[in-house]
Amino acid sequence: MSEQTASGLAEGVQPDRVLDATGLHCPLPLLKAKQALAGLAPGQLLEVSATDAGAWRDMAAFTELSDHVMEARVQRGDVYVFWIRKAGNSHS
């Protein structure tokens, strides 16, 4: 697995919601992320941490098949961190 830097993510950007899915096995990290996104407003940012290696593939496939945007993803040791922006425009 390769590491992608959070180049599209400005330093110090605060997510609107943080989801700790560490310790959960596939497909729970993805299901929990979908639930968390459902509770966000369009344009808000979700940060997900997971330890299941399948999450790397699952989160990428999910965002490719949906209108949500994978802003960045990184691997930090055994933890995979994803920043997913909910589909739609924010009206702030």
Mean pLDDT of the chain: 89
The band of 2, judged by pLDDT with boundaries at 50, 70 and 90, is very low
DSSP assignments along 33-53, one per residue: HHHHHHTSPTT-EEEEEE--T
The band of 91, judged by pLDDT with boundaries at 50, 70 and 90, is low
Looking at 24, 26, 70, 72, which residue is catalytic?
26
CA 89 remoteness from chain centre: 18
Model pTM score = 0.86
Q: In whole angstroms, how far apart are CA 47 and each of 13, 14, 87?
A: 11, 9, 15
Tell me what percent of the residues of the chain surpass a pLDDT of 70.
Answer: 84
| Greater pLDDT, 12 or 78 | 78
* 76 noted as active-site residue: no
Tell me what percent of the residues of the chain surpass a pLDDT of 90.
Answer: 80
The band of 11, judged by pLDDT with boundaries at 50, 70 and 90, is low
Q: Tokens 């590491």 — which residue? A: 3
